[in-house]
A and B are shown apart, each in its own frame.
Chain A
Amino acid sequence: MRVALLVSCLVDGLRPSVGAAALKLLRAAGCTVVVPRAQTCCGQPAWNSGDRATARTLALRVLDQFAGVDAVVVPSGSCAGMVHQLPEVLGASHPRRAEAEALAARCYEITTFLVEQRDYHPGPLGQGQTLTYHDSCAGLRELGVKTAPRILLERAGYILVEMAQAETCCGFGGTFCVKYPEISVAMADEKLASAGQAGASLVVGGDVGCLLHLAGRSERSVAPLAFRHVLELLVPEREQPRALGQGTP
């Protein structure tokens, strides 16, 4: 199966190890992986800010770069959700609308792809480590990503404890987190309290944006938690970057 990796701009720039893990896992799951070099951003910041023209320009670039593969796989529910909205970005009468629909139909969030399309079983890695999972909103509510990351983590030997507010928004929200920082941080505090009450010191999620926001806030608290993208936990420890939330500026 020929798969293109849409790495997402946050992973590309801030957490490249997650991209490396994605590449490795897709290959281990029997895929031939290509990474279109000219990919930049799916256009979500523009689309959600009401800038339809810029969103359209970037949408057409995504169509160009991700043509001709069996599947497009994304280590982010948010960006995969955006690809699913590309037909709407182009509009009903756009000449490339059908292309956008075809792309959306073969675009997957990576944990869903690994479980549902490849039935992937990671090796034993977790050694009984306890963690809690934060469901990022776009993945959860636009794409139904709920069980796949948990299945992968459990197959790898991690122990999941659920927090009461796993499905509540963490307050990141893209540009929301800097347009309304006080509300954003108040939402993070509620999420962090819920994670803390679950009794896990490691919070895992499928979107780097949420994790950076939560980790950055957690570092200002008396007892910071650790944060990781789910893919980081599916590769051997020596390939894992330092966990987020452990900074000491």
Chain B
Amino acid sequence: MSFRVDSQDFIARSSDALEDAPLQSALGKLRMGLSLRRREAVAALPEFEALRDEAAALRDYTLATLDQQLEAFEAQVRARGGEVHWAPDAEAARRIILELCQRYGAKKVLKGKSMVTEELELNEHLEAQGIRCVETDLGEYIVQLRRERPSHIVAPAIHLRKEDVAESFAEHHGDAGGRDRSTAEALMAEARAELRAHFLSADVGITGANFAIAETGSTVIVTNEGNGDLTQSLPKVHIAVTGIEKVVPTLEDASTLLRVLARSATGQEASVYTTFSTGPRRPEDPDGPEAYHVVLVDNGRSAMLGTEFEAMLRCIRCGACLNHCPVYGQVGGHAYGSVYPGPMGAVLTPQLAGLDQTVHLPTASTFCGACAAVCPVKIPLPTLLRQWRQRAHEAELGGTKARWLLALWGFFAARPRLYHAGLRLGTRVLAGLAGPRGSFRRLVGGQAWTAKRNFPAPEGGSFIASLSQETFSPTAEDRSAR
């Protein structure tokens, strides 16, 4: 597989994350901030729920006609003087992009924020070939300096506090003149000054695409910093890299999705910049790249079509499911060991990297449903996580102890007389042992519960066993069970 994950140590990584005080302070702000902003934005748009239905239907229609939409998109890009490249997997995508960079003699590449290029580990690949990559989104820039991976698909450096950023800037930018790094504004100004020189000296700009519009052959990016616009218009060459599922039929459809995207992601009505790229610069254009390429990446996506996971391809990468996930909110993105963390990542990562490496991801969810409740394209995320659990169960992945206990439970639950006798006895014994203390500080075999929680003792006896005969319902099975 050409998708790198470190998801096997999810438990160790999540423990570390819970002990990491600076991370917890950063995550505390996320938990409060983004979900509140979304709620306010949604409250201000009465038709938001109807828009979600429309957006989900639109995405389903696009996926049902994906081949036609992609061919139409390719034809439109070509008609406007651009080139389209098809990458069946990550390796092909990396090769295509490297060859394009070499074709234009690129020494330095600007990067707009793009999760697909993170998925491809494109920076590492290009740098190994002597091409310098400079991330221009502030969060991505910070993460790149620190040699980390993004911890959130929309806010890559959400795991960091401004003190952490100040430290990284001091290390990489030097400390000439005793720069003020005490405020976010000062840090932003410093990054902007550093990046300005790169903007003027880069040969190629690589961006992602939030949408690819079949009707017009345009790619669309949304940003709040304007870095994406500079990345795709200043260098001579613009390469847009995106997943094949990001195509939408018409400009009107893109506008429908844009209405739910920004509100879901950051609680904004619209992102500060929404930029449409359609072909290279024409003679009458005042600016723009001389060459325009689109790399359409499959890398496991088409294999989801027609399966129980197809709905995952509706995803427009807004990050709302991460912002509302209580597990993500506790452990942050790096614990997942995948560039796609949180609920959407827990569904997508096993598809891209294989379930044997990633079995914790669909398991580490309470099925609270907060993700599905906010998803702008109504992906039934808990249902899809449960599908992965079924596959894991069938393949006998995951803990054997849990499987064994479950099988034991299933055995008793299908034998009511045995079950109720055991329950009555067990609960009486536990109630007797606890006595007036009312709960247990530890229980044999119950360490997973009692390490950090008491176990409240049962009242003693069972409800069913306490009932008089006339309360029972004389169903057929009931009679046979007596």
Contacts from A to B (Cβ < 8 Å)? 4, 7, 9, 11-20, 23, 33-41, 43, 45-52, 54, 57-58, 61, 64-65, 67-69, 137-138, 141-142, 167-169, 171-188, 190, 212-213, 215-217, 219-220, 241-242, 244-249
Complex contact B413–A49 (CB within 8 A): no
CB distance from B326 to the nearest CB of A (A): 5
Complex contact A183–B18 (CB within 8 A): yes
Complex contact B472–A34 (CB within 8 A): yes
Complex contact A137–B369 (CB within 8 A): yes
Residues of B within 8 A of A142 (CB): 369
Bound-state CA distance A68–B473 (Å) is 10
CB distance from B449 to the nearest CB of A (A): 6
Complex contact A137–B453 (CB within 8 A): no
Complex contact A41–B409 (CB within 8 A): yes
Bound-state CA distance A19–B458 (Å) is 13
Q: Which single member of B414, B434, B441, B455 contacts A57 (CB below 8 Å)?
A: B414
Bound-state CA distance A48–B450 (Å) is 23
Interface string of B401-414 (1 = CB under 8 A from A): 01100110110111
Bound-state CA distance A19–B369 (Å) is 27
A–B Cβ pairs within 8 angstroms, 7 of them: A11-B463, A17-B459, A49-B389, A138-B367, A180-B364, A216-B456, A247-B454
Q: Which single member of A18, A52, A176 contacts B364 (CB below 8 Å)?
A: A176
Residues of B within 8 A of A220 (CB): 452-454
Q: A12-B423, A138-B369, A169-B368 are in contact. Are A64 and B459 (CB under 8 A)?
A: no
Complex contact B409–A45 (CB within 8 A): yes
Complex contact B456–A212 (CB within 8 A): yes
Complex contact A45–B326 (CB within 8 A): no
CB closest residue in chain B, given A188: B453
Bound-state CA distance A185–B387 (Å) is 26
Bound-state CA distance A175–B386 (Å) is 13
Residues of A within 8 A of B476 (CB): 64
Complex contact A49–B406 (CB within 8 A): yes
Q: Is B391 an interface position by the 8 A CB rule?
A: yes
Complex contact B449–A177 (CB within 8 A): yes
Residues of B within 8 A of A67 (CB): 475
Complex contact B410–A51 (CB within 8 A): yes
Complex contact A39–B464 (CB within 8 A): yes
CB distance from A44 to the nearest CB of B (A): 10
Q: Is B365 an interface position by the 8 A CB rule?
A: yes
In this complex, which of B326, B414, B451 has the most chain A Cβ atoms within 10 angstroms of its Cβ?
Answer: B326
Interface string of B467-482 (1 = CB under 8 A from A): 1000111011110011
Q: Is B419 an interface position by the 8 A CB rule?
A: yes
Complex contact A48–B331 (CB within 8 A): no
Q: A65-B478, A216-B456, A217-B453 are in contact. Are A173 and B365 (CB under 8 A)?
A: yes
CB distance from A5 to the nearest CB of B (A): 9
Bound-state CA distance A174–B388 (Å) is 17
Bound-state CA distance A19–B210 (Å) is 52
CB closest residue in chain B, given A57: B414
CB distance from B147 to the nearest CB of A (A): 27
Bound-state CA distance A172–B413 (Å) is 22
Complex contact B440–A249 (CB within 8 A): yes
Q: A46-B410, A247-B439, A249-B438 are in contact. Are A216 and B455 (CB under 8 A)?
A: yes
Q: A46-B410, A65-B475, A176-B366 are in contact. Are A185 and B462 (CB under 8 A)?
A: no
Extra contacts, 12 of them, besides A65-B475, A141-B373, A169-B370 (Cβ < 8 A), are A11-B463, A14-B459, A48-B386, A54-B410, A137-B366, A141-B370, A176-B366, A181-B449, A212-B455, A219-B454, A246-B438, A247-B437
Residues of A within 8 A of B226 (CB): none
Q: Is B22 an interface position by the 8 A CB rule?
A: no
Bound-state CA distance A34–B450 (Å) is 36
Q: Which single member of B326, B464, B478 contacts A7 (CB below 8 Å)?
A: B464
Complex contact B452–A185 (CB within 8 A): yes
Complex contact A16–B462 (CB within 8 A): yes
Q: Which single member of B452, B455, B477 contacts A65 (CB below 8 Å)?
A: B477
Contacts from B to A (Cβ < 8 Å)? 11, 14-15, 18, 31, 326-327, 330-331, 363-370, 372-373, 386, 388-394, 399, 402-403, 406-407, 409-410, 412-414, 416, 419-420, 423, 426-427, 434, 437-441, 448-459, 461-464, 466-467, 471-473, 475-478, 481-482
Bound-state CA distance A102–B456 (Å) is 37
Complex contact A247–B366 (CB within 8 A): no
Residues of B within 8 A of A13 (CB): 423, 426-427, 458, 462
Q: Which single member of A45, A58, A180, A249 contacts B439 (CB below 8 Å)?
A: A249
Residues of A within 8 A of B434 (CB): 247, 249
Bound-state CA distance A14–B434 (Å) is 13
Bound-state CA distance A179–B471 (Å) is 38
Complex contact A39–B416 (CB within 8 A): yes
Q: A65-B477, A65-B478 are in contact. Are A141 and B452 (CB under 8 A)?
A: no
Complex contact A20–B455 (CB within 8 A): no
Bound-state CA distance A242–B435 (Å) is 12
CB distance from B275 to the nearest CB of A (A): 36
Bound-state CA distance A64–B389 (Å) is 27
Complex contact B473–A4 (CB within 8 A): yes
Complex contact A179–B366 (CB within 8 A): no
CB distance from B321 to the nearest CB of A (A): 13
Bound-state CA distance A64–B419 (Å) is 17
Complex contact B458–A37 (CB within 8 A): no
CB distance from A52 to the nearest CB of B (A): 6
Complex contact B330–A16 (CB within 8 A): no
Bound-state CA distance A245–B370 (Å) is 27
Complex contact B478–A249 (CB within 8 A): no
Complex contact A181–B452 (CB within 8 A): yes
Complex contact B459–A16 (CB within 8 A): yes
CB distance from B19 to the nearest CB of A (A): 9
Residues of B within 8 A of A216 (CB): 439, 449-450, 453-456
Q: A64-B476, A187-B330 are in contact. Are A179 and B441 (CB under 8 A)?
A: no
Bound-state CA distance A4–B364 (Å) is 34
CB closest residue in chain A, given B366: A173
Residues of B within 8 A of A48 (CB): 367, 386, 389
Bound-state CA distance A138–B369 (Å) is 8
Q: A180-B14, A249-B441 are in contact. Are A141 and B368 (CB under 8 A)?
A: yes
Residues of B within 8 A of A37 (CB): 416, 464, 467, 472-473, 478, 481-482
Complex contact B18–A7 (CB within 8 A): no
CB closest residue in chain A, given B415: A40
CB distance from B471 to the nearest CB of A (A): 5
Q: A13-B462, A35-B464, A169-B326 are in contact. Are A50 and B482 (CB under 8 A)?
A: no
Q: Which single member of A40, A65, A174, A183 contacts B331 (CB below 8 Å)?
A: A183
Residues of A within 8 A of B466 (CB): 16, 20
